[in-house]
Amino acid sequence: MRRKSIFFRMFTVTMALFAVSFIITGTLLFSFMGRYLSSRYEDELDNIAHQVIDTTLYVGTNRQVPAEVYQRNIYAIAQSTGTEIFVIDAEGDLILTTVEGFTDSIRQIFTKEILSGESATYRGTLGGTYKTDMLTVAKPITYMEKVAGGVLVSIPTPEITRMRLEIIRIFIYNVLIVGLIAAVCIYLYSKRITKPLSQLNEAAKIIAGGDFTHRVQIDADDELAELGETFNHMAESIDQLENMRSSFIANVSHDLRTPMTTITGFVEGIIDGTIPEEKQKWYLSIVLDESKRLSRIVTDLLDLSKLEQGSFKIEPREFDINELIRLTIIKAEKRITEKNIRLTVGFLTEHIMVLADRDAISRVLTNLFDNAIKFTQENGFIDVQAGNKDGKAYISIQNSGMGIEKKELLHIFDRFYKTDKSRSLDKNGAGLGLYIVKSILQAHGENICAESVPGEYTKFSFTLKKSEEKKPDKKQAEENV
């Protein structure tokens, strides 16, 4: 099923609204114009009736004016105004009419009001007096406070309808002209709005096809431009993620193949006797180290899977973070000594009790220490500090070395990201350590930040929720060891 484009819908709906609005406007205009014209004609007929009344009273009070002059004046008024005129006496009998061939009397129902001194307005044939519908205004003739007769002035209602239709015709012409201009403007504006959406749609198809380098260029300064920037940012993130994924597959393949090759080679050498018996113990220690390396990689991958699936759970309990830092340093003592690293440790107080998952935080410290030792040059330094900050426990680990460029700092906590692309220093990692660290701390409701000066140092710092400070008893200290 072919889908209708947004442009088609926008153009159609806008033009439909435009048409409906003008239809409603035209209908209201037709109705209002009918009322206005009727009211205007009533006023005109009222004025004409007063002229006839004034002429009639003048002739009636001046016996020197011949009847023929009076009749000509009435006919002149009727012809000049396009009206029909009736003049009746006090009994309702017809005195004069401009209607050709009319000799009957006007029905009493139409003369009763004016003969009682009231004005009236009628619409219709006036009881068969006319062959077409007429608008009639009836006025009484009063002389010396008595009703002396009446005047009825009529005009055809088709004239009113003609005027209404003429105005509507002019209105329709204007609507057609304005509608044509509006259609062009709406078409251009709809195109302008939907063009960026079409560009985004095409770009999305290209990216879905595997070209993650494609970007959109939207020439606008509104929300569509902001949407384009967001889309490009998303495409950039996808591109980086794809690059990291490819790099991760390559790195993991290398990291898994290297120890497995080493293990297989040395074990085969021991079995077939290629490796002398006196050297087997030394080579078995290498096999053990490589096995541990494989275990760390698999553990990272399993932890990543748990974090991705949201199944990673923490179990907070109280423990001394200072003690955990000491244990972490002891585990890394051999590596620190081998590189002749100068280690400084500063604790604000002897004990800093925190409420967190001890095993998870141990993983955090281990990963951070591994990174610090890995990237610290020989005879360099590592500085560890633990204290308080904003009511929380604050831990920082700083090391000398090559540092991290500013643009790299934005991505070091991303999955599979490795700043050491050459793998000259980071030979064992898969780019998951810092991602796992950040995820663990976020699960605790905390965060970690990194700062670095290239060629000088790199520093990682994070906070933990403090618990009631108390010195751990001897049994707990033995459990921690």
What does residue 265 show for φ and ψ, rounded to 5 degrees?
-65, -45
Length of the chain: 481
For the chain, list residues with pLDDT below 50: 1, 421-425, 427, 471-472, 474-481
Put the strands of the sheet holding 134-143 in their side by side order: 94-97, 84-89, 146-156, 134-143, 120-124
**pLDDT (0 to 100) of residue 88:** 92
As a whole number of angstroms, the distance between CA 186 and CA 472 comes to 76
List the one residue out of 88, 123, 131, 83 whose CA is nearest residue 107.
Answer: 88
Residues 202, 208, 214, 220, CA torsion sign:
positive
**pLDDT (0 to 100) of residue 419:** 61
**pLDDT (0 to 100) of residue 420:** 55
As a whole number of angstroms, the distance between CA 37 and CA 166 comes to 12
**What is the distance between the terminal CA atoms of the chain, rounded to a whole angstrom?**
69
Q: Which of 1.10.287.130, 3.30.2090.10, 2.60.40.10, 3.30.565.10 would CATH assign to domain 243-309?
A: 1.10.287.130
Q: Tell me which architecture the domain covering 6-162 has in CATH.
A: 2-Layer Sandwich (3.30)
Q: Tell me the two tokens of residue 405.
A: 């460029």
**pLDDT (0 to 100) of residue 423:** 43
Helix (H) or strand (E) holding 449: strand 448-453
Q: Quick one: 317-480 is in which CATH superfamily? A: Histidine kinase-like ATPase, C-terminal domain (3.30.565.10)
List the one residue out of 437, 421, 432, 438 whose CA is nearest residue 297.
Answer: 432
What does residue 84 show for φ and ψ, rounded to 5 degrees?
-115, 140
As a whole number of angstroms, the distance between CA 50 and CA 241 comes to 93
**pLDDT (0 to 100) of residue 481:** 44
Q: Which regions of 20-65 does DSSP assign to beta strands (E)?
A: none
As a whole number of angstroms, the distance between CA 434 and CA 101 comes to 111
**pLDDT (0 to 100) of residue 448:** 92
**pLDDT (0 to 100) of residue 6:** 66
Q: CA triplet 319, 320, 324: central angle to 5 degrees?
A: 100
Looking at the DSSP bridge assignments, the partners of residue 213 are none
Q: Domains of the chain: which residue ranges?
A: 6-162, 243-309, 317-480
